[in-house]
Amino acid sequence: MNNTIKLAVHGAAGRMGQRVVALASGADTVDDTSGFTVVGAIDHSSHPKIGQDAGVVAGVRSLDVPVSADWPEKAEVVIDFSLPEAFDACVARCVSAACPLVVATTGLSDQQKESLAEAAQTIPIVWAPSMSLAVNLSMRMAQQITKALRDVAGGVDIEILERHHRFKADAPSGTALKFGELIADAMNADDPVKHVHGREGHTGQRSRNEIGYHAIRVGDNPGEHTIVFGMLGEKIELNVAASNRDCYASGALAAAKWLMRGNDGGPMPAGLYNMFDVLGMADADA
Ligand SMILES: NC(=O)C1=CN([C@@H]2O[C@H](COP(=O)(O)OP(=O)(O)OC[C@H]3O[C@@H](n4cnc5c(N)ncnc54)[C@H](OP(=O)(O)O)[C@@H]3O)[C@@H](O)[C@H]2O)C=CC1
Ligand SMILES: O=C(O)C1=N[C@H](C(=O)O)C[C@H](O)C1
């Protein structure tokens, strides 16, 4: 009996979609089984790869699943790596099909984030700007460092540098924004923390309760984040870098599996989850 999880990938012909299809097809596992069967590879109707086999597009083997604008009936879980423009239809489809969803797309509007929370009242959703284990661990470390340094004599300046490939559409990265949100919480400042994007001109002295963001776009970098904790006389730099996209693809597959099997073998109930939940770090002493 085939008890693999039937997976549909939204944005299947894109950089990330292809890696999810490749790993889900078992191409890079020792025993050729990932625990998934790819049953749907969705992209927009004018994509040049429409009609081609999704496994071949991903550079692995024929899967007998064409890249298509149509949603498969039989998907048990959906992984979305697409664009904000494509997001609304994806969520609506998952809600109407009562299908669990992993959302990895970044650059969502506030309204889209609200509709995600609403959808999570009826279906289970994992939503995270980075599916990488190393990034999520680094987020916890950044919170710890912020707490340890927040009352240091002379103060600490926290700046977030992110580097990504030249094709990336949104800036700063969703991950950088999430680092900033978690760090701002950990700063526990009396005044609201200011989020400052780049600096130019006569800016005056840096204020104490701000977080700076700097988005660098270079070549084919698959994603790198550096959190600088600058003090008077010394600094800490927390650097986390992907060497390829498989950390995100395998994280998304782990999230999909967790939605279907939970922590004790049963499916997760409706709700909005993140990678801390998937990785068992939700209750970490942050
Ligand atoms: N959470 C995480 O861990 C990660 C998140 N990301 C995020 O994932 C997203 C995708 O990244 P990446 O794969 O590099 O981007 P790509 O542009 O390579 O892939 C997106 C795919 O979605 C397609 N698409 C566009 N419109 C639609 C539509 N209406 N319906 C279905 N598909 C559509 C694109 O087609 P076309 O090329 O024609 O536009 C493309 O094939 C980004 O938001 C990125 O920031 C990326 C890596 C990790
Ligand atoms: O577009 C990308 O490539 C990435 N996007 C995500 C983000 O915006 O944080 C995650 C990762 O850094 C790669």
pLDDT tens-digit readout, 91-112 = 999 999 999 999 999 999 999 9
ipTM: 0.99
Test site for ligand 2: of 164, 170, 275, most ligand atoms within 8 A of the Cβ: 164
Cα 162 to ligand 2 centre (Å): 10
Residue in 49, 168, 178, 225 annotated catalytic: 168
Instruction: Please tell me the residue having the least CA distance from ligand 1 atom 19.
Output: 14
Q: What average pLDDT does range 214-231 have in this prediction?
A: 98
Tell me the pLDDT tens digit for each residue of 243-269: 999 999 999 999 999 999 998 889 999
Asked if pLDDT for residue 41 goes beyond 80, the answer is yes
Domains of the chain (ranges; CATH) run 5-131+245-278 (3.40.50.720), 133-241 (3.30.360.10)
DSSP 83-127: -HHHHHHHHHHHHHTT--EEE------HHHHHHHHHHTTTSEEEE
Higher pLDDT: 236 or 283? It is 236
pLDDT of the residue at 286: 57
Instruction: Please tell me the residue having the least CA distance from ligand 2 atom 12.
Output: 223
Regarding the beta carbon of 14 and ligand 1, being less than 6 Å apart is answered yes
pLDDT band at 33 (very low <50, low <70, confident <90, very high): confident
Asked if pLDDT for residue 192 goes beyond 70, the answer is yes
pLDDT band at 30 (very low <50, low <70, confident <90, very high): low
pLDDT band at 45 (very low <50, low <70, confident <90, very high): very high
The owner of tokens 């680094």 is 138
Asked if pLDDT for residue 40 goes beyond 60, the answer is yes
For the CA of 42, the closest atom of ligand 1 is 31
Q: Is 43 annotated as a binding residue?
A: yes
Asked if pLDDT for residue 68 goes beyond 90, the answer is yes
Q: Is 105 annotated as a binding residue?
A: yes
Instruction: Please tell me the residue having the least CA distance from ligand 2 atom 13.
Output: 223
pLDDT of the residue at 97: 96
pLDDT of the residue at 3: 86
Average pLDDT value for the chain: 95
Among the ranges given (39-43, 128-132, 189-193), the one the predictor scored with the smallest mean pLDDT = 189-193
pLDDT of the residue at 104: 98
The continuous run of DSSP H or E covering 111 comes out as helix 110-119
Q: What average pLDDT does range 136-149 have in this prediction?
A: 98
pLDDT of the residue at 92: 97
Could you say which ligand is closest to the alpha carbon of residue 163? Answer: 2
Q: Contact 149/156 with Cβ under 8 angstroms?
A: yes
Could you say which ligand is closest to the alpha carbon of residue 246? Answer: 1
Instruction: Please tell me the residue having the least CA distance from ligand 2 atom 10.
Output: 130
Percentage of residues in the chain having pLDDT higher than 70: 97
Cα–Cα distance, 211 to 216 (Å, whole number): 16
Cα–Cα distance, 78 to 6 (Å, whole number): 9
Asked if pLDDT for residue 216 goes beyond 60, the answer is yes
